[in-house]
Amino acid sequence: MKNPILVENTSYTFSDYFRLTAPLKEILNYFGYRLQRQSYHLPHGQAVIDNSATLLKNRWQETLPYIELANEMARREFLIAPVLMEVIRYTQAEISVEYPLNVTEQLKGTLDYYLTAATHQCLVIEAKNGDLEKGFTQLAVELVAIDQWLENPTPCLYGAVSMGNVWQFGKLDRPTKLVTQDLNLFRVPADVEELLQVLIGILTLTE
């Protein structure tokens, strides 16, 4: 007999899903959602990125050889936070850090970075232990939680999981309950300008 994905009457936080060994497809199916993996055409902003992106890239290239990035705090402060601060400059999005969310006993915890601008949102989480695949599992579950929590009619929810130097995006189509894992990866500092345009595009969608 197949073991259940989740144990009944047991409380789960978002970080617990990072540690589950069950395939993401089965975890999503448990909540009534589906999974697909493909290269996805992500939104791109129309903002003209000034030389701050180049300055940021140059600063990383000069300083990263001297920064020990083996722990989560270092990756968040030196790699993820600078990207999000640039996004805020261009979108005036509000950002909540360690945002608490409690939807059900199986969908609760804190969101690493939750950006909101007008009617659009973007979730960004850090991949614990440098594990991008398990990090995406956690991201997908958090998108499910946001879907069940939000009352606005936004048809799509976007999120990204980051190891600091590598980013991967996901999308949840709310009407069809379909989670798409984008197969493309964005590398920092090499792809920082394109990464910024994607994040800006998500937060300034006109749909």
User: Is residue 112 domain-resident?
Assistant: yes
Average pLDDT (179-185) is 97
Domain that holds residue 33: 14-40+60-203
pLDDT for position 207: 58
User: Is residue 48 domain-resident?
Assistant: no
> Where is 98: in which H helix or E strand?
strand 94-104
Per-residue pLDDT reduced to its tens digit, 117-126: 987 899 999 9
User: Is residue 67 domain-resident?
Assistant: yes
Residue 59, pLDDT above cutoff 50: yes
pLDDT for position 176: 97
User: Is residue 94 domain-resident?
Assistant: yes
User: Is residue 53 domain-resident?
Assistant: no
Adjacent-strand bridge partners of 81: none
Q: How far is CA 195 from CA 49, 74, 93, 169, in A?
A: 11, 20, 16, 10
User: Is residue 76 domain-resident?
Assistant: yes
User: Is residue 199 domain-resident?
Assistant: yes
pLDDT-based confidence at residue 2 (cuts at 50, 70, 90):
low
Residue 132, pLDDT above cutoff 90: yes
Average pLDDT (164-188) is 97
Whole-angstrom distance, CA of residue 157 vs CA of residue 173: 7
Whole-angstrom distance, CA of residue 87 vs CA of residue 114: 12
Average pLDDT (98-127) is 95
CATH value at residue 173: 3.90.1570
Count the domains in the chain.
1
User: Is residue 54 domain-resident?
Assistant: no
pLDDT-based confidence at residue 168 (cuts at 50, 70, 90):
very high
Whole-angstrom distance, CA of residue 61 vs CA of residue 68: 14
Average pLDDT (86-103) is 95
